[in-house]
Amino acid sequence: MNWLLLRSGRAILTLLLLLTFTFFTLAASGDPALQKFSPDVDLATIAAFREKWGLNEPIWKQFLIYLERLAHFDFGMSYRTGRPALEVVLDRVPVTLSLAIPSIVLSIVIGIPLGFYAAMNKGRLADRITILVAVMGLAIPPFLLGIFLMYVFSIWLGWLPPSGYVNWTSYIMPVASISAVYAAIFARFTRSAMVEVMSHPMIETAKASGLATGLVQRVHVLPNVLLPLVTITALEFGNVVTFAAVIENLFSWPGAGTLLIEAVAGRDYAVVEAVLLLTGSTMILANFLTDLSYGLIDPRIRDYRRAYRRSPDQLPSPEGAA
């Protein structure tokens, strides 16, 4: 229970810091009233707008009002549409998830086996080619790859729709643009983790005992590689959502990423705060669930947490415990 409360407290504190940073950064970026109205509008209209949305209050008071509303799950109203900000964001979330989830799944399906294959052929031609391809995937920004794919498959060959959603083929270029980078990340990370584990004395001992290579990999190598892979997957999921914002804007997808760019340009504070809050909460929840999964993957961590609940002051942190 102590461990769970500690992790929960850290998650809440991180979320509060995110809210604070977002609110005051947006407040310092400019007046939404000046963005919404033309320069020749009368001052009474601007004053009425500020009073309606509470922008005439001191910044510290606006922040306290914002926190009070959040406590009641009120994310405020959109300046541009007049609709609840959370409702505006949730309308776009399914589109973003339809890009992010296939991208992360495809990255894992391609990257992890590729890294595994490279590690099993360390120092050989296959390993060098894998490293070269992974480095190229990391070096090319997703938006640049997206522009290249759009030029080749939409403008030159005419095989795929250049933007928006037409049919299932509209997913090919956006998902490929995101997946290429993260498949390279998973490939390099899996290879490094595999090479490190396979150089451990316990693996040499298992091989010397006459165990089959497949059994050694399944029983000794894979469980020790899973822990860092779970960690990197949780971290990269949040980054995939971030990259999806850029790709959505490039391919004119009406997702949360495009909405965020539009809201920032229009200083629609409530919508920007709602998008960042949901994104931050997703990343915090992913990391929290990752912490919980450690005990299922590595029995040493589970046993340590049980012992910690009994005598937290007498236990050093075990190797590999999180």
Tens-digit pLDDT profile for residues 17-60: 888 888 888 777 766 766 666 666 767 777 777 777 777 777 88
Would you state the pLDDT for residue 321?
42
**pLDDT averaged over every residue in the chain:** 77
Sign of CA dihedral 114, 115, 116, 118: positive
Examine residue 315 and state whether it is found in any structural domain, yes or no.
no
pTM for the whole structure? 0.72
Please state the three-class secondary structure of 111-173 as a single string.
HHHHHHHHHHCCCCHHHHHHHHHHHHHHHCCHHHHHHHHHHHHHHHCCCCCCCCCCCHHHHHH
Q: At what angle do helices 222-251 and 142-149 cross, to 10 degrees?
A: 60
Q: Are 55 and 170 within one domain?
A: no
CATH number at residue 262: 1.10.3720.10
Residue 210 pLDDT > 80, yes or no?
no
Share of the chain above pLDDT 90, in %: 0
Mean pLDDT across the stretch 80-84?
Answer: 82
115 versus 45: the higher-pLDDT residue is 115
Examine residue 80 and state whether it is found in any structural domain, yes or no.
no
Examine residue 85 and state whether it is found in any structural domain, yes or no.
no
Q: Are 174 and 265 within one domain?
A: yes
Provide the domain count of the chain. 2
CA distances, 279 to each of 19, 76, 201, 276 (Å): 11, 17, 42, 5
- Most confidently modeled of 139-148, 191-200, 284-293? 139-148
Domain of residue 41 covers: 2-71
Examine residue 318 and state whether it is found in any structural domain, yes or no.
no
